[in-house]
Amino acid sequence: MAKPPEIQLRLELQSLAELFAGSEIDPLGGRVEEVPGLERLLNELRPLPRGLPVRTTLVLPARERAPDLEARCLAALRAVLDRRLARNCNDARSLRHEGYATLWRGLAFLAACLLASKFLDWRLTDAQNLLPGFVLRFLDEGLVIAGWVALWYPLDVLLYQRWPLARERRLYESVHDMALVFEFRD
């Protein structure tokens, strides 16, 4: 039976602490990376297909070897990702709340604009000699367009702005559930 495909990542760190905190840049010493290892992992996973299991090899100096290293590292990694997942969920709830709140205001404004448009159409049809036809049409259609434009933001929030949060959530979940392997170098 064929082994299911998996995403394999390799991350070389100067110390285990570098997984969560950035390090000093030293271009002359060959150290040009300042981003924490977790952020580098997330950045590498972002463009890859979702749903595949992830296996990450952490390459550490031999001095970092410890009997409980894997358990400690996985516990710390999962604690950080649990916090990020909770924040992501809170952000999604907040965005949904904002979308619905602005949707009701947008719908009320659209209704007011449509009513004003009908009122102008009804009222000014009798007094066509006061305003030329193109001005009446401009006012009528301008009110309708303004009403629909007021719905633009709420619909954008409800339909599209949550997608990046959902992508980040899936990314955090895939790293949360990844297999972690350690290699040591001298």
Residues forming a β-bridge with 7:
54
Task: State yes or no: pLDDT of 127 exceeds 60.
Answer: no
Higher pLDDT, 20 or 34: 20
* List of residues 6+ apart from 164 with CB closer than 8 A: none
The per-residue pLDDT for 131 is 62
Model's pTM, two decimal places?
A: 0.77
Whether 59 contacts 183, CB under 8 Å: yes
- Taking only the tens place, the pLDDT of each residue in 144-171 is 999 999 999 999 999 999 999 999 999 9
Query: Measured between alpha carbons, how far is 131 from 56 in angstroms, rounded to an integer?
Result: 72
Which helix H or strand E contains 95, and what residues bound it? Answer: helix 69-126
Task: State yes or no: pLDDT of 3 exceeds 80.
Answer: no
Question: Residue 31 — pLDDT band, cuts 50, 70, 90?
Answer: low
Closest by alpha carbon to 91, among 151, 166, 175, 24?
A: 166
The token pair at 168 is 């980040």
The per-residue pLDDT for 105 is 94
| Averaged pLDDT, 79-87 | 95
Query: Measured between alpha carbons, how far is 22 from 7 in angstroms, rounded to an integer?
Result: 24
Higher pLDDT, 5 or 125: 5
